[in-house]
Amino acid sequence: MVLARACPALAVWISRGGDSKKSRSDPGWQRGGTGAGDGGATIRGAPRLRIEIRRRGGNNKGLVRPFFRFRCILGSFAAAAALDLTLRPLTAQPAAQGFTQSIAGSLVRFEMVPVPGGTVTIDGATVTVAPFLIGRTEVTWDLYDVYADALDVPRTAAAVDATARPSRPYGAPDYGWGHAGYPAISVTRQAAEAFCAWLSAKTGKAYRLPTEAEWVRAATLAAGGGGAPRDAVTWHRDNAKGTTHPVGTRQPDLLGLSDLFGNAAEWVVPADGKRVTRGGSFRDAPEDTGPRARAEQDSSWNERDPQLPKSRWWLSDGPFVGFRVVSDGK
């Protein structure tokens, strides 16, 4: 471990196991406290960290419990608020800080939430997921309309707009259930990917659909081992009354996300490239929503579309399909 930053008058030395002897050999430090019995906490079965809080070049009289020895779980964070100190294992790769993204030429804003990296199991294989950021909510019509209806383009420039945008849909894609604040639905994966390309160009940040492994990673953390009851966080067949609902009207999950499960199922990009949604939707039974819910697109999702070939932008019979975006924070 390394020397952590502290306030000017004090410094904090962090070491693992027997490294403490090395720190004590530094003549510039004056050790305070009475040893291992001073304060601290222990969690069994975890690597040992040694933290010494000392005054540089002087005695430590007046310091409150300046010497701590405790155990902590790697990956956990210890904070000393008075010192503005945050401790992290050197191997940790935390995601970038969350942020709120605005869209130039509109009043639309959306939030991105950090997801720490880790491993997940997909079809029996272990997949390592790097840290990333994910939308706090599904993409709403408010945001999608800026792209689809070219609301970001001044009228004088509309004639020369070269951005690929959706064609007029067959019927009302929101099914009349609600528009402002509701998740954008009936959107094909190709359209969702085109939206991400537009959003990336518009904001200067790289946005995309989540890989299936990323979605599973977020869903695993979101579900945890407990949290709010399913009804409190999920719109499903038993409580949604057959429609989508405005995003964020259920309680957030353990990751702080809204509607990751239920409401609209979400496009992901699996390793085999198939068209897959995860999480379940408002039309699914409660037990068919959640981290394990998965569906592959079939012909019934676009059955009523009279076009040949079928629209690459809209799902005439997929009002249960939406999406949310992810970013690497770059």
Summarize pLDDT for 4-22 with one digit per residue, the tens.
Answer: 333 334 444 444 444 433 3
Q: How much is the pLDDT for 309? A: 65
Asked if residue 258 has pLDDT above 60, the reply is yes
Token digits of residue 266: 């979400």
Q: 67 has which bridge partners?
A: 52
Q: Where in the chain is the domain with CATH 3.90.1580.10?
A: 99-327
Using CB atoms within 10 Å of the CB of residue 237, give its burial: 0 to 12 exposed, 13 to 18 middle, 19+ buried: middle
Asked if residue 305 has pLDDT above 60, the reply is yes
Q: Do 262 and 283 touch, CB atoms closer than 8 A?
A: no
Q: What is the rounded CA–CA span in Å between residue 103 and residue 169?
A: 24
Between 230 and 54, residue with greater pLDDT? 230
Q: How much is the pLDDT for 93? A: 54
**HEC string for 192-214:** HHHHHHHHHHHHCCCEECCEHHH
Q: How much is the pLDDT for 83? A: 28
Task: Please name the residue that has the structure tokens 């709403």.
Answer: 140
Going through the chain in order, the beta strands assigned E by DSSP cover 3-4, 10-16, 48-55, 67-71, 78-80, 85-87, 99-102, 109-115, 118-122, 125-129, 132-135, 207-208, 265-268, 276-278, 294-296, 321-322, 326-327
Mean pLDDT across the chain:
76
99-327: CATH number: 3.90.1580.10
Q: What does the pLDDT average to over 228-250?
A: 93
Q: How much is the pLDDT for 298? A: 96
> Residues with Cβ < 8 Å from 171, sequence gap 6 or more?
304, 316
Q: How much is the pLDDT for 69? A: 34
